[in-house]
Chains A and B, each alone.
Chain A
Amino acid sequence: MTQAGSLTWFASHELRLAWRDWLSMMTAGRRGREKVVAVAVTIFVIFAHVLAWYFIARYVEESATPSKPALVVITGSVLLAWSLLISQAMESVTRAFYARADLDLILSSPAPARKIFAVRIAAMAISVILMAALLGAPLINVLVVRGGVRWLGAYGVVIAMGATAAALSVAMTVALFRVIGPKRTRFVAQIVAAVIAAVFIIGLQVAAILSHGTLSRMVFLESDTLVTLVPEIDSWFWWPARAALGDLTALATVLGIAALTLGGAILVFSARFGTHAIAASSVAAVGGRQAQRAGFRRRAPARTLRQKEWTLLLRDPWLVSQTLMQLLYLLPPALLLWRSYGEGTGALVVLVPVLVMAAGQLAGGLAWLAISGEDAPDLVATAPVPRSHIVRAKVEAVLGGIAIAFAPFIAALAFLSAYGALVSALGILAAAAAATGIQFWFRKPATRRYFRHRQTASRFATFAEAFSSISWAAAAALAAGGTLYALFPAAIGLGILAAARWMSPHKS
């Protein structure tokens, strides 16, 4: 047994909490579902390996000496994954800062707070590393099988990426904290995290569109233009890629730098972590003043409800950022659309499904806010308004939001192809309506601050919403291509909707 108050004692405490959090997230807090989760995770792991095999097995070079194009692709993939890890780590750090949880207990106890926060930063790094390893494992395992054991070095690179991402995130969050203060840091850090995640993916897509007229990032990474622009093959710039390919010197260097970075971050920031966390958790929300109006407006209950939904959304910058971030990913298709004017309708097959998919995802988020994220459910339920009218008003609020967000795209598409615009509009409507229906059938009251974790309420609803959007996107893409095969994915979309209704705890 470890001695109370020691580093290992704190570490085991953090580990136990992290494990229970993860288990609770996977089982949606329901007991006795561990076996179901284990089976689902196993199926997911097998499926991910099959998928990884299908996509990358044929590209693996067996040559021991890496070529420059191979280094470019590996480095691009590492940077892409690293940006996502930094984003995830920033989320974790912000959560750790702003969750009061056990902070009072820790800081009022005679235990050395610095040790606890050192363990906490290390735990964040470990969770980021584990997540990266879990998601990267199928790819790395396929690379090992096809390209040899030298690819095991990729696991070392994953560890280094996780450690440096955690260190950088702590540093960036503390810097934000000092520059703009605890009140604004929460909001800004979450925006920064989302932008970091999006900027590299979108940047690659934009580069691919501008140079090759395609949305494919790989086409750009494999292009001769890029290969001639990047540093020579013996540059240190390629060391992470070389480490992934099993170069032991490069691997040791990369791991060493990562360990030093994380150790330095722990040493520098653990002492002040508690002070910042206390400052962050003590920030009291101060209600802003609204302009005074003279007189209540005459509105029917349905309009009152719709207006309330939009007002609440527009007044919450965090929620606006969370929902609008999904629209950031529409920038590349918009760019592709702009480039496609006068070049025929070939881009439609790429554009239409992206729009439909995004509409489904956005509608799912808005529907969750309007239906499950109702902050005063008792008030609305005790109002003298038939339930069907309340539901209809909320659905209208969601679809109205979708219409406002996607109307400019449809209008722009109409200039390119009226048929394409019509197909897109129908696809968007179908995907948005399906996502709203699924959210309605799987509604579970929650406060709006759980928006980011709404998926944990029902795994089935989450997957149903995603697959429904994919089906409608596929149907719209095929319809845009003018083939009747569009009916197949449309039928699958309807089947998913029927299954969701059948499985739902609320049938009406």
Chain B
Amino acid sequence: MTPALRIRGLAKSFDRPAVAGLDLTVRAGEFYSLLGPNGAGKTTTLRMVTGLLPPDAGSIEICGIDALSDPVEAKRIVAWVSDEPMIYDKLTPYEYLEFVAGLWSLDPDIAETRARELMDWLGLGPHAHERCEGFSKGMRQKVALAGALVHAPRVIILDEPLTGLDAGSARQVKRVLRERVAGGDTVIMTTHILEVAERMADRVGIIAGGRLIAEGTIDELRVRAGQGHTNLEDTFLTLVAEQQAA
């Protein structure tokens, strides 16, 4: 089966190497969580995958499409949600989703039906025709998420999507993501909230110094980190400390 994401030898340097020869494969239909300490290269990696940053070296394939040589086709099936929701204050959620539908050249009727469903799922229905300028961070994040999902992407990439959300909003977002994975889509998410990764991810990748230092299910990572670790936090800290010591 073609993987949802296949990265080989990916590299990017700014003042120093941010991503250094990263290899990563994410299977289709899985919930993959990318963990790592601050400055590990998680966001840089995901920004290269979504076409926001050009890599210095390496290859990126999304569902079999070469994202570097055919970025437009790759973008058609990918959605990106960053930790800071970037939406238009002067548009309403309804208009924002119509704008996204226009950018993705979607059929207006299908897109509108999907938009209404998403707004209902995310609790945005009553605010569909209010301008976003008065929205809280949680509401803005939900609008951004609805925008990411309205074009029915096969691969959903999220960078710290739960940062700053209240418990209720976080639960709604997690529920929507679970439903997408259950429907066969792939979710790749970075998070610093390890409990979320522990509960939701099928597999976890740990990145440090721009390289993948460990990957597997939660149980596989526990085994790798050694005996005595009962939760992902201990496992994560042990693996990162090992890498830094090496």
Contact = CB atoms under 8 A, between A and B. Distances in A.
Is this pair of chains taken from one and the same complex?
yes
A311 B91 contact: yes
Contacts of B82: 378
B24 interface: no
Interface string B64-93: 000000001101101110100011111110
Interface string B45-56: 000001110000
Contacts of A382: 50-52, 75, 78-80
Interface stretch (B95-103, B162-170, B183-191, B219-227): B95-103
- Which of A287, A296, A305, A312 neighbours the largest number of chain B CB atoms within 10 Å of its CB? A296
Given A295-B109, A315-B131, A381 B52 contact: yes
A304 B89 CA distance: 17
A298 B109 CA distance: 9
B102 A286 contact: no
B131 A304 contact: no
B147 interface: yes
A292 B119 CA distance: 15
A305 B105 CA distance: 12
A290 B88 contact: no
B90 A304 contact: no
B188 to A, nearest CB: 14
A298 B108 contact: yes
Interface residues of B, number: 44
A329 to B, nearest CB: 27
- Which of A288, A289, A379 neighbours the largest number of chain B CB atoms within 10 Å of its CB? A379
B75 A384 contact: yes
A408 interface: no
A286 B108 contact: no
B87 A376 contact: yes
Contacts of B135: 287
A378 B78 CA distance: 12
A297 interface: yes
Nearest to B95: A290
Given A290-B131, A295-B112, A301-B105, A311 B76 contact: no
A288 B72 CA distance: 35
Given A287-B130, A376-B88, A384-B76, A296 B111 contact: yes
A285 interface: yes
B115 interface: yes
A299 B102 contact: yes
A380 B87 CA distance: 11
Interface in A147-203: none
Interface in A283-324: 284-293, 295-301, 303-305, 308, 311-312, 315-316
Interface in A354-395: 375-386
Contacts of B107: 298
B156 to A, nearest CB: 12
Contacts of B52: 378, 381-382
Nearest to A294: B112
A379 B111 CA distance: 17
A288 B130 contact: yes
B160 to A, nearest CB: 14
B228 interface: no
Given A296-B111, A382-B75, A384-B75, A303 B102 contact: yes
Contacts of B174: none
A290 B92 CA distance: 7
Nearest to B132: A287
B88 A287 contact: no
A312 B91 contact: yes
A446 to B, nearest CB: 13
B82 to A, nearest CB: 6
A289 B97 CA distance: 16
A318 to B, nearest CB: 11
B108 A380 contact: no
B80 A378 contact: yes
Contacts of B132: 287
B86 A289 contact: no
Nearest to A292: B129
Contact of B90 (A300, A312, A384, A385): A312
Given A296-B111, A384-B72, A315 B90 contact: yes
Contacts of A384: 72-73, 75-76, 103-105
A304 B99 contact: yes
Given A296-B98, A304-B102, A385 B72 contact: yes
A285 B98 CA distance: 23
A450 to B, nearest CB: 14
Interface in A22-54: none
B175 to A, nearest CB: 23
Nearest to A449: B89
Interface in B107-165: 107-109, 111-112, 115, 129-135, 144, 147
B146 to A, nearest CB: 12
Contacts of A299: 102
Nearest to B103: A383
Given A312-B90, A316-B90, A375-B86, A296 B101 contact: yes
Contacts of A375: 86-89
Nearest to A315: B90
A183 to B, nearest CB: 12
A379 B112 CA distance: 19
Contacts of B50: 378, 382
Contacts of A308: 88, 91, 99
Given A375-B86, A384-B76, A289 B129 contact: yes
Contacts of B78: 382
Nearest to A288: B131
Contacts of A295: 108-109, 112
Interface in B18-72: 50-52, 72
A304 B79 CA distance: 19
A315 B99 CA distance: 16
Contacts of A298: 107-108
Q: Closest 9 interchain pairs by CB?
A: A304-B102, A287-B131, A296-B108, A287-B134, A383-B103, A315-B90, A384-B75, A384-B76, A376-B86
29 contacts: A285-B89, A286-B133, A287-B133, A287-B135, A288-B130, A290-B130, A292-B94, A293-B94, A295-B108, A296-B101, A296-B108, A296-B115, A298-B107, A298-B108, A299-B102, A300-B102, A301-B105, A303-B102, A308-B99, A311-B91, A375-B88, A375-B89, A377-B86, A379-B147, A382-B51, A383-B75, A384-B75, A384-B103, A384-B105
Given A286-B133, A290-B95, A301-B102, 11 more contacts: A284-B134, A287-B92, A288-B131, A291-B129, A296-B102, A301-B103, A304-B102, A308-B88, A312-B90, A378-B86, A384-B76
Interface of A: 284-293, 295-301, 303-305, 308, 311-312, 315-316, 375-386
